[in-house]
Amino acid sequence: MRVEHVDISALPLLNTDLETPDGGFPPAVEAFRDRIASADCFLFGSPEYNYSIATPLKNALDWASRGNNCWADKPAAIVSAGGGFGGGRSQYHLRQVGVFLDLHFINKPELFVQAFQQPPKFDNDGNLIDAEIRERIKKVLLSLQAFTLRVQKD
pLDDT in tens, 61-91: 999 999 999 999 999 999 998 888 888 899 9
Residue 154 has pLDDT above 80, yes or no: no
Residue 106 has pLDDT above 80, yes or no: yes
What is the C-alpha to C-alpha distance for residues 69 and 116, in angstroms, rounded to an integer? 36
What is the C-alpha to C-alpha distance for residues 147 and 32, in angstroms, rounded to an integer? 24
Please answer whether residues 28 and 10 qualify as being in contact, where contact means their C-beta atoms are separated by less than 8 angstroms.
yes
Assign 37 to helix, strand or coil. Answer: helix
pLDDT for 57: 96
142 Cβ partners below 8 Å, 6+ apart? none
Would you place residue 132 in the very low, low, confident or very high pLDDT band (cuts 50, 70, 90)?
Answer: very high
Q: Classify the phi-psi angles of 128: left when phi > 0, otherwise alpha if psi is within -120 to 50, otherwise beta.
A: beta
Sorted by where each begins, the domain ranges of the chain are 17-152
Class of domain 17-152: alpha beta
Q: What is the pTM of this model?
A: 0.91
